[in-house]
Chain A
């Protein structure tokens, strides 16, 4: 065997191994999508049906068991509002920390990260009772506020690392030309950091969309997002596997696509800027 042949064989073997691992890991998602196109009888069949007559029934009657669209709308409203609010608070903070670094900037950033160390169960009771006494239980506002706060450290970090990459000279030039703070931010900074901000928005949306501690504990019906709708399928009366799969597929598809598009950029936010 020549060297080239052995190289080729080696890469063939490694490739096969990689594919096998990927198939095993991806299988539950693939199977969920498959099941969503089955009838309930096929979904529950033993042995599992790999070949079946696909049906769109589950998607066409998605609203039958519960009002899917109201849950989805809650998810959309909560995720987008919390993301917008979070960015509004985080961008100025990241701006001043990136371009006007002081002795305490590093400490402030680390302190912000340390707030993520607080386990949510540690503050479950007070938040629940506060929400209750303000009449905010089962409202979108409660979740919007909480999501804004729990994602704030991550968003500040992510925007900060993007801003850090922008040479100060550009902003200095604008400043010397007499730009106000507002002009400097909106006209100079934001256009340069557009890409970074976009992936920050995606990360925040993903985190809000998938959050499942506060949404399960603070909502019941009116403000319940998709995570709560899907959890309701765990009750014994909810053994509708095909319907569950259809709802799950719809609920996960947008986030999965966001994730695929922005995987490289997300790493920066998820690793607090340590990996780029």
Chain B
């Protein structure tokens, strides 16, 4: 504990002032100067001290840039979504209200796109959390030759570029003639499968899981190492079996890291793009099109800015709904267990 008496005073003063006054910049700065002064008065009246709080002006570049990055493009997207705007037919940018939204929502690609997005996010999350927990528990449970190497091998796919991963799977693994899976299928006397043509969404799910399961393993393995070994030993001495220890000790300990994995993977999985772009191009038909790919298609293939913007806004809304639901669900779980 590095909490000195001075800091404790300061902490108290701060919470005192802070609760009664709002969140305005000037107030916050004034508050800090006043607590710093209290600090001088209370403990170190003889020494000189820099009282100015550099806080706001050091944080402001980051905040301003991120604010710009959010507001300017989002504002433009909202504007574009309400006008007729196609780069191929310039000059007819009249206001059309919500027409672009109705077009996008009734587009033949929307329903498959939305379903595929949910299926993709859901299955990859499930795969990476379930197998992530099991695999990291397996590594934690046993001492064996080359454990370090196994660890490195397990997390490696996460560091591979998405375009590389997708093309390696497409050409070297999934290829119906020369791929490894075709070879294995023939080895067992089965007819090789043209994965990307017949099971496009499943193939994309496999590729994306291959990239994100290692992320879950990386996070969960590190989290498990921080589990108190003495606690585990105590449970063992009390006669708890490995499964009981896993269920009552390890899993609750992993609640927070699992929440983190789910949060971060959701952010990235909602906008999977390169894997589809390089393998199936969303096809056949809309079989492997997700919302990100559908909007890209509207934007930079058909150059329909208005409709792509409407789609973009719908994607933003979906992402936010997902985020809110996740935060609620996970937040509850966390407080329940604690």
B129 at the interface (CB under 8 A from A): no
Q: Quick one: which of B18, B139, B159 has the most chain A CB within 10 A?
A: B159
On whether A122 and B77 interact (CB within 8 A), knowing A26-B153, A274-B260, the answer reads: yes
Task: Describe B's contact surface by its main secondary structure.
Answer: helix
Q: Are A275 and B273 in contact (CB under 8 A)?
A: no
Q: Pick from B61, B143, B278: contact of A231, CB below 8 A.
A: B278
Q: In the complex, identify which listed stretch (A60-68, A168-176, A188-196) lies at the interface while the others stay far away.
A: A168-176
Q: Pick from A10, A19, A118, A169: contact of B146, CB below 8 A.
A: A19
Which chain A residues border B139 with CB–CB below 8 Å? Answer: 18
B12 at the interface (CB under 8 A from A): no
Give the docked Cα–Cα distance between A25 and B131 (Å).
12
Interface size class of A (residues with CB under 8 A): 35 or more
Q: Are A209 and B292 in contact (CB under 8 A)?
A: no
Q: Are A251 and B305 in contact (CB under 8 A)?
A: no
- The number of residue pairs between A and B whose CB atoms lie closer than 8 Å in the complex comes to 324
Q: Are A100 and B144 in contact (CB under 8 A)?
A: no
Per-residue 0/1 for A212-243: is the Cβ within 8 Å of any B Cβ (1 yes, 0 no)?
11001100000000111011011000010100
Per-residue 0/1 for A67-105: is the Cβ within 8 Å of any B Cβ (1 yes, 0 no)?
000000000000000000000011011011100101110
Per-residue 0/1 for A247-266: is the Cβ within 8 Å of any B Cβ (1 yes, 0 no)?
01001100110111001101
Query: How many residues on chain B are close to A (CB under 8 Å)?
Result: 116
Residue of B nearest to A231 (CB): B163
B337 at the interface (CB under 8 A from A): no
Kindly provide the distance from the CB of A219 to the nearest chain B CB, expressed in whole angstroms. Answer: 12
Query: Which B residues have a C-beta under 8 Å from some C-beta of A?
Result: 2, 4, 6-7, 14, 18, 23, 28, 31-32, 44, 47-50, 53-56, 58-59, 61-63, 65-66, 69-70, 72-74, 76-77, 80, 135, 138-139, 141-147, 149-173, 177-180, 182-183, 186, 210, 213-215, 218-219, 222-223, 226, 256-257, 259-261, 264, 267, 270-271, 273-274, 277-279, 291-292, 295-296, 299-300, 305, 308-309, 311-313, 315-316, 319-320, 323
Q: Apart from A96-B59, A266-B218, what are 11 other A-B pairs with CB-CB below 8 Å?
A: A11-B143, A31-B173, A32-B172, A46-B182, A97-B59, A119-B271, A125-B309, A168-B2, A230-B278, A252-B164, A270-B215
